[in-house]
C-alpha cells in the first residue's frame, strides 16, 4: 500500500513540474526539493512504525545513486538543472523491494526514461519544426553540404563491393538504408539545434538559461557555461538592457511522466 501512496505522490509532483516547465521553461528548485524531503520523511516514518530501517535506507541510497547520475547528466548537458533535481527525487520514490533493486529498478528506470524521452523528443521536435523557417533554412544548408559526402560514400562502398563482391543483396540494401537514415538524422538534429537558438530580451531571461555564445557587458564578459545564467548575470544584463542569444531545449519533464506510467502499468501491475 505504501508503494502506491508514494507513486501517487511523485505522479502529482511530476504533473506540477510539467506545468511549470511549459509555463516558465524551468522546474523550480522548491518543487524538486520538496519531493525529496517529503518522500524521505514518509519513508522515515514508515520505517519507524514498522521497526525496520531498510525502507528508509533504500530511499536514502536511491537518492545517493541518482544524485551521482544527475550530476553526470547535468555536466554532460544531457539534463538541465531542473530535470537533474527531479531525477534525484525519483531516486527516493522508486519501489525498491531489496538492495539489489537499487541497481535493477534504478538503472532500469533510467534506461526507460531515456528510451521514452527519445521517442517523446522526436515527436515533440516535429511539432517544433512545423512552419519553422529557421529549421528549413538550416536543413537545406546542411543538406547541401552533406549530400556530396553521402553520394561519395555510397559510390565508394558500391565500387568496393563490385570489386570484392563482399555483401549479399539484402546486406547492401540494409547498409545503404542505414547510411541514408543516419545522414538524414544527423542533418535533422543539427538543423533542429540551430533552430532552437532564440534572441531574448533581458527582462525575459530566467536563471539557468543557456547562452549560445559569450556576451560582453560594460567591459565584463559573461561566459556560457553548463550552469546557465545566474541571477547576478541576469541583473547585469537587465541593467544595460542587453538582448542575448539563448539556446532553448525541449521540455523534458513529460518524459518522466511517460516513463513512470510505463513502469507502473507494464512492470509493477
Cell matching residue 238: 537587465
With a cut of 70, say whether residue 15 has pLDDT above it.
yes
Q: How far is CA 8 from CA 14, 15, 260, in A?
A: 10, 11, 10
**pLDDT for 197:** 79
Q: How far is CA 263 from CA 116, 189, 208, in A?
A: 11, 28, 30
For domain 197-247, is the CATH number 3.90.105? yes
Distance CA 243, CA 225 (A): 18
Confidence of residue 224 (pLDDT cuts 50, 70, 90): confident
Least confident of 111-120, 125-134, 173-182, 187-196: 173-182
Domain ranges of the chain: 2-123+251-268, 129-195, 197-247
**pLDDT for 1:** 61
Q: pTM (2 decimals)?
A: 0.76
Average pLDDT, the chain: 82
Most confident among 81-85, 134-138, 197-201 (mean pLDDT): 81-85
SS (H, E, C) 16-33: HHHHHHHHHCCCCHHHHH
**pLDDT for 67:** 95
Rounded (10°) CA dihedral 34, 112, 77, 180: -160
For domain 2-123+251-268, is the CATH number 1.20.120? yes
pLDDT tens digits along 97-124 = 888 888 888 888 999 999 998 888 888 8
Amino acid at each position: 500500500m505504501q508503494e502506491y501512496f508514494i507513486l501517487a505522490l511523485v505522479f502529482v509532483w511530476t504533473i506540477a513540474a510539467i506545468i511549470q516547465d511549459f509555463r516558465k521553461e524551468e522546474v523550480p528548485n522548491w518543487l524538486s526539493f520538496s519531493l525529496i524531503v517529503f518522500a524521505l520523511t514518509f519513508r522515515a516514518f514508515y520505517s519507524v512504525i514498522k521497526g525496520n530501517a531498510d525502507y528508509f535506507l533504500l530511499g536514502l541510497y536511491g537518492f545517493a545513486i541518482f544524485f551521482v547520475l544527475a550530476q553526470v547528466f547535468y555536466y554532460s548537458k544531457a539534463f538541465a538543472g531542473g530535470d537533474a533535481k527531479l531525477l534525484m527525487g525519483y531516486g527516493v520514490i522508486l519501489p525498491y523491494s531489496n538492495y539489489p533493486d537499487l541497481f535493477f529498478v534504478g538503472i532500469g528506470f533510467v534506461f526507460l526514461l531515456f528510451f521514452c524521452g527519445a521517442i517523446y523528443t522526436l515527436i515533440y521536435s516535429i511539432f517544433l519544426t512545423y512552419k519553422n523557417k529557421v529549421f528549413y533554412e538550416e536543413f537545406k544548408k546542411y543538406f547541401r553540404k552533406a549530400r556530396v559526402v553521402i553520394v561519395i560514400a555510397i559510390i565508394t562502398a558500391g565500387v568496393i563491393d563490385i570489386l570484392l563482391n563482399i555483401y549479399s543483396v539484402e546486406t547492401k540494401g540494409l547498409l545503404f538504408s542505414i547510411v541514408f537514415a543516419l545522414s538524414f538524422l544527423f542533418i535533422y538534429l543539427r538543423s533542429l539545434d540551430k533552430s532552437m537558438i532564440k534572441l531574448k530580451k533581458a527582462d525575459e531571461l530566467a536563471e539557468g538559461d543557456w547562452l549560445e555564445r559569450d556576451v560582453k557587458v560594460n567591459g565584463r564578459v559573461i561566459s556560457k557555461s553548463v550552469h546557465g545564467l545566474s541571477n547576478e548575470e541576469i541583473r547585469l544584463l537587465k541593467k544595460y538592457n542587453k538582448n542575448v542569444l539563448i539556446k532553448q531545449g525541449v521540455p523534458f519533464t513529460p518524459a518522466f511522466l511517460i516513463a513512470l506510467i510505463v513502469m507502473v502499468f507494464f512492470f509493477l501491475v
